[in-house]
Structure 1
Amino acid sequence: MATKPMTKTQLVAALADKMDADKKTASAALDALTDVITEEVSNGGAVTLPGVGKIMCRERPERMVRNPATGEQFKKDADKVVKMTIAKALKDSVNT
């Protein structure tokens, strides 16, 4: 099990190595990918990353929640959350 998550700098370096490109190009590619995903999901769409998973925006209905410190219950308004469904291929690669 990994001790620390990969940082953006480490990810850019690994991406540059796989692409046989410099770090500046890899960083631009990563930033462009992040921008496309953010724009699509914020507009209510979904993005599928083959072999990784599907990122989507889901609406949650209005509901009753409880403050754990005081025990007080109150109504929370409907909101949107980002969800990611992990691809079966990635799950299988982790469990082998």
Structure 2
Amino acid sequence: MAMNRKELVAAVAEKSGNSQAAVNGVLDAVFEVFTEQISQGEKVTIPGWMAVERTDRKARQGRNPQTGETIQIPAGHSVKLTAGSKLKAAVSK
């Protein structure tokens, strides 16, 4: 079962004793900082939990699956999320 944002906000609010509105505002701010830093090419690291960084992809040739025609895929960026040791340990239990 997947947890959506509303359920996450409710769970964090309950554990922290803060209102859902306050938790929602903090989540918005966290994601805004992530977006700003990663778009500038900076890596965001939360030791033990995760690291998020922008990666570069080179231009390459691909194939249109419907026609089989060779196409040129332009260079671009992607996002890489790496799990930290605490997150990995929680999964292996």
Indicate whether the TM-score tops 0.5.
Answer: yes
CA RMSD of aligned residues (A): 1.2
Counterpart in the other structure of 1:26 = 23
Could you report, residue by residue, the CA deviation over 1:49-86 in whole angstroms, capped at 9, with x for unpaired residues? 23321111011111111111211111111101111111
CA distance in 1, matches of 2:15, 2:48: 16
Aligned length: 93
TM-score by length of 2: 0.90
Greater than 3 Å deviation, 4+ residue runs: none
Pairs within 5 Å for 1:36-75: 36-75=33-72
Choose which of 74, 79, 89 in structure 1 pairs with 2:76: 79
Which sections of structure 2, spanning at least 5 residues, go unmatched? none
For 2:22 and 2:35, the matched residues in 1 are separated by 20
Shift of 1:25: 0.8
SS in 1 for 2:67: coil
Q: Which consecutive residues of structure 1, in runs of 5 or more, have no partner in the other structure?
A: none
Secondary structure of the corresponding residue to residue 18 of structure 1: helix
| 1:85 aligned partner, one-letter code | T
Q: Structure 1 vs Structure 2: percent identity of aligned residues? A: 37
